[in-house]
Amino acid sequence: MKKGCLIAVLAVVVIGFMLFGWVKGAYNGMVKSQEGVEAAWAQVENVYQRRADLVPNLVATVKGYATHEKETLEAVINARAAATSVKIDPANLDENALKKFQQAQSELSSALSRLIAVSENYPDLKANQNFLELQSQLEGTENRITVERQKFNEVAKGYNTEIRTFPNNIIASIFNFDKRPYFEAQAGADKAPTVDFGS
Protein backbone atom coordinates (compact mmCIF):
# COMPACT_ATOMS: atom_id res chain seq x y z
CA MET A 1 0.00 0.00 0.00
CA LYS A 2 1.33 3.39 -0.89
CA LYS A 3 2.20 5.87 1.81
CA GLY A 4 -0.37 8.41 0.51
CA CYS A 5 -3.19 5.85 0.66
CA LEU A 6 -2.20 4.81 4.17
CA ILE A 7 -2.27 8.42 5.35
CA ALA A 8 -5.69 8.91 3.72
CA VAL A 9 -7.07 5.77 5.40
CA LEU A 10 -5.66 6.84 8.78
CA ALA A 11 -7.14 10.33 8.32
CA VAL A 12 -10.57 8.84 7.56
CA VAL A 13 -10.33 6.55 10.60
CA VAL A 14 -9.28 9.43 12.88
CA ILE A 15 -12.06 11.66 11.55
CA GLY A 16 -14.52 8.78 11.98
CA PHE A 17 -13.50 8.31 15.62
CA MET A 18 -13.72 12.05 16.25
CA LEU A 19 -17.17 12.19 14.66
CA PHE A 20 -18.30 9.17 16.67
CA GLY A 21 -16.97 10.76 19.88
CA TRP A 22 -18.79 14.00 19.17
CA VAL A 23 -22.10 12.25 18.35
CA LYS A 24 -21.78 10.04 21.42
CA GLY A 25 -21.01 13.01 23.68
CA ALA A 26 -23.86 15.12 22.28
CA TYR A 27 -26.35 12.24 22.47
CA ASN A 28 -25.41 11.31 26.04
CA GLY A 29 -25.61 14.96 27.09
CA MET A 30 -29.12 15.21 25.66
CA VAL A 31 -30.18 12.00 27.41
CA LYS A 32 -28.86 13.40 30.70
CA SER A 33 -30.73 16.68 30.17
CA GLN A 34 -33.91 14.82 29.20
CA GLU A 35 -33.68 12.74 32.37
CA GLY A 36 -33.31 15.99 34.31
CA VAL A 37 -36.53 17.32 32.77
CA GLU A 38 -38.35 14.10 33.65
CA ALA A 39 -37.05 14.20 37.23
CA ALA A 40 -38.15 17.83 37.57
CA TRP A 41 -41.59 16.87 36.21
CA ALA A 42 -41.83 14.08 38.79
CA GLN A 43 -41.24 16.66 41.53
CA VAL A 44 -43.97 18.88 40.08
CA GLU A 45 -46.40 15.96 40.14
CA ASN A 46 -45.27 15.10 43.66
CA VAL A 47 -46.19 18.50 45.11
CA TYR A 48 -49.49 18.59 43.25
CA GLN A 49 -50.25 15.12 44.63
CA ARG A 50 -49.43 16.38 48.12
CA ARG A 51 -52.04 19.11 47.68
CA ALA A 52 -54.58 16.59 46.38
CA ASP A 53 -53.90 14.39 49.41
CA LEU A 54 -54.76 17.27 51.76
CA VAL A 55 -58.16 17.85 50.14
CA PRO A 56 -60.14 14.92 51.62
CA ASN A 57 -59.19 15.88 55.20
CA LEU A 58 -59.90 19.54 54.52
CA VAL A 59 -63.31 18.70 53.03
CA ALA A 60 -64.15 16.37 55.93
CA THR A 61 -63.22 19.04 58.47
CA VAL A 62 -65.26 21.74 56.73
CA LYS A 63 -68.17 19.33 56.28
CA GLY A 64 -68.36 18.85 60.04
CA TYR A 65 -69.02 22.57 60.54
CA ALA A 66 -70.50 23.78 57.26
CA THR A 67 -73.16 21.24 56.41
CA HIS A 68 -75.04 23.80 54.31
CA GLU A 69 -72.14 24.17 51.87
CA LYS A 70 -72.81 20.95 49.96
CA GLU A 71 -72.31 22.56 46.53
CA THR A 72 -68.92 24.02 47.46
CA LEU A 73 -67.75 20.75 48.99
CA GLU A 74 -68.85 18.78 45.93
CA ALA A 75 -67.06 21.25 43.65
CA VAL A 76 -63.81 20.66 45.56
CA ILE A 77 -64.22 16.88 45.47
CA ASN A 78 -64.98 16.93 41.72
CA ALA A 79 -62.08 19.28 40.97
CA ARG A 80 -59.72 17.05 42.95
CA ALA A 81 -60.92 13.99 41.03
CA ALA A 82 -60.40 15.79 37.71
CA ALA A 83 -56.94 17.05 38.74
CA THR A 84 -55.72 13.63 39.86
CA SER A 85 -57.07 11.93 36.74
CA VAL A 86 -54.81 13.93 34.41
CA LYS A 87 -51.75 11.71 34.00
CA ILE A 88 -48.84 12.74 31.82
CA ASP A 89 -46.02 10.51 30.67
CA PRO A 90 -42.96 12.78 31.05
CA ALA A 91 -41.43 11.24 27.93
CA ASN A 92 -44.40 12.59 25.95
CA LEU A 93 -44.77 15.92 27.73
CA ASP A 94 -45.93 18.43 25.15
CA GLU A 95 -47.68 21.78 25.18
CA ASN A 96 -51.22 20.34 24.90
CA ALA A 97 -50.67 17.85 27.72
CA LEU A 98 -49.23 20.55 29.97
CA LYS A 99 -52.15 22.91 29.23
CA LYS A 100 -54.63 20.16 30.12
CA PHE A 101 -52.73 19.47 33.35
CA GLN A 102 -52.57 23.18 34.24
CA GLN A 103 -56.29 23.63 33.55
CA ALA A 104 -57.25 20.79 35.87
CA GLN A 105 -54.94 22.08 38.61
CA SER A 106 -56.27 25.61 38.16
CA GLU A 107 -59.83 24.38 38.65
CA LEU A 108 -58.80 22.68 41.89
CA SER A 109 -57.08 25.87 43.06
CA SER A 110 -60.24 27.83 42.34
CA ALA A 111 -62.45 25.33 44.18
CA LEU A 112 -60.11 25.37 47.19
CA SER A 113 -60.20 29.18 47.25
CA ARG A 114 -64.00 29.07 47.37
CA LEU A 115 -63.86 26.48 50.16
CA ILE A 116 -61.51 28.65 52.20
CA ALA A 117 -63.76 31.66 51.62
CA VAL A 118 -66.71 29.65 52.97
CA SER A 119 -64.81 29.09 56.21
CA GLU A 120 -65.11 32.81 56.94
CA ASN A 121 -68.82 32.24 57.63
CA TYR A 122 -68.11 29.65 60.34
CA PRO A 123 -66.18 31.03 63.35
CA ASP A 124 -66.04 27.60 65.04
CA LEU A 125 -64.47 26.12 61.91
CA LYS A 126 -61.89 28.91 61.71
CA ALA A 127 -60.91 28.14 65.30
CA ASN A 128 -60.67 24.36 64.77
CA GLN A 129 -57.07 23.21 65.28
CA ASN A 130 -57.29 20.53 62.60
CA PHE A 131 -58.61 23.07 60.09
CA LEU A 132 -55.85 25.53 60.95
CA GLU A 133 -53.22 22.80 60.54
CA LEU A 134 -54.63 21.76 57.17
CA GLN A 135 -54.69 25.38 56.01
CA SER A 136 -51.07 25.78 57.02
CA GLN A 137 -50.08 22.62 55.14
CA LEU A 138 -52.03 23.77 52.10
CA GLU A 139 -50.31 27.15 52.13
CA GLY A 140 -46.90 25.46 52.39
CA THR A 141 -47.79 23.13 49.54
CA GLU A 142 -48.84 26.03 47.32
CA ASN A 143 -45.41 27.57 47.94
CA ARG A 144 -43.72 24.25 47.05
CA ILE A 145 -45.75 24.07 43.85
CA THR A 146 -44.47 27.48 42.82
CA VAL A 147 -40.87 26.48 43.56
CA GLU A 148 -41.08 23.16 41.71
CA ARG A 149 -42.74 24.74 38.69
CA GLN A 150 -39.93 27.29 38.55
CA LYS A 151 -37.30 24.54 38.83
CA PHE A 152 -39.03 22.59 36.06
CA ASN A 153 -38.99 25.63 33.79
CA GLU A 154 -35.27 26.17 34.44
CA VAL A 155 -34.39 22.53 33.69
CA ALA A 156 -36.63 22.49 30.59
CA LYS A 157 -35.00 25.72 29.36
CA GLY A 158 -31.54 24.16 29.67
CA TYR A 159 -32.67 21.06 27.81
CA ASN A 160 -34.46 23.04 25.10
CA THR A 161 -31.41 25.24 24.60
CA GLU A 162 -29.16 22.19 24.33
CA ILE A 163 -31.26 20.45 21.68
CA ARG A 164 -31.88 23.60 19.63
CA THR A 165 -28.33 24.95 19.36
CA PHE A 166 -26.15 24.07 16.40
CA PRO A 167 -24.77 21.46 15.83
CA ASN A 168 -26.65 19.62 18.62
CA ASN A 169 -29.90 20.30 16.78
CA ILE A 170 -28.76 17.85 14.08
CA ILE A 171 -28.29 15.05 16.63
CA ALA A 172 -31.55 16.00 18.38
CA SER A 173 -33.41 15.78 15.09
CA ILE A 174 -31.90 12.40 14.19
CA PHE A 175 -32.71 10.88 17.60
CA ASN A 176 -36.10 12.63 18.10
CA PHE A 177 -35.28 14.79 21.11
CA ASP A 178 -38.32 17.08 21.26
CA LYS A 179 -38.70 20.48 22.86
CA ARG A 180 -40.40 20.51 26.28
CA PRO A 181 -43.07 23.08 27.20
CA TYR A 182 -42.90 25.53 30.08
CA PHE A 183 -45.37 26.34 32.81
CA GLU A 184 -46.86 29.68 31.91
CA ALA A 185 -48.80 32.12 34.02
CA GLN A 186 -52.56 31.66 33.88
CA ALA A 187 -54.84 34.54 32.99
CA GLY A 188 -55.09 36.79 36.04
CA ALA A 189 -51.86 35.42 37.48
CA ASP A 190 -50.60 38.95 38.00
CA LYS A 191 -52.73 38.85 41.17
CA ALA A 192 -51.61 36.55 43.93
CA PRO A 193 -54.01 33.66 44.65
CA THR A 194 -56.06 33.94 47.80
CA VAL A 195 -54.53 31.65 50.37
CA ASP A 196 -55.38 33.88 53.31
CA PHE A 197 -56.78 31.57 55.91
CA GLY A 198 -58.01 34.25 58.24
CA SER A 199 -57.34 34.51 61.90
Task: Decide if 42 is inside a domain.
Answer: no
Q: What is the pLDDT of residue 194?
A: 54
We report the CATH number of the domain holding residue 147 as 1.20.1440.20
Report CA 173 to chain centroid distance, whole Å.
Answer: 25
Query: Which residues span the domain enclosing 178?
Result: 52-186
Decide if pLDDT at 199 tops 50: no
Q: What is the pLDDT of residue 188?
A: 54
- The whole-number average pLDDT for the span 174-188 is 85
Quick one: angle between helices 3-65 and 95-119, nearest 10? 20
Task: Decide if 116 is inside a domain.
Answer: yes
The count of domains in the chain is: 1
Q: pLDDT by residue (tens digit) across 23-74?
A: 999 999 999 999 999 999 999 999 999 999 999 999 998 888 887 788 889 9
Task: Decide if 18 is inside a domain.
Answer: no
Residue 193 has a CB neighbour count (10 Å cut-off) of 15
Q: What proportion of the chain, given as a percentage, has pLDDT over 70? A: 92
Task: Decide if 148 is inside a domain.
Answer: yes
